[in-house]
Amino acid sequence: MKEIMLLVTYKLKPQAREYFLGEVAAAEILQKTCREDGALRYDYYLSAADADAVLLVERWRSAEAQSAHLQTAHIAELKRIKEKYVLETVVEKFEM
- Asked whether residue 1 carries a pLDDT value surpassing 90, the answer given is no
Residue 77: what pLDDT? 98
Q: What is the pLDDT of residues 32-91, one digit of tens each?
A: 999 999 999 999 999 999 999 999 999 999 999 999 999 999 999 999 999 999 999 999
Specify the pTM. Answer: 0.92
Spell out the alpha helix ranges (H) of 1-96: 17-26, 29-34, 63-69, 73-85
CA–CA separation, 31 and 67 (whole Å): 18
Task: Judge contact between 6 and 96, C-beta under 8 A.
Answer: no
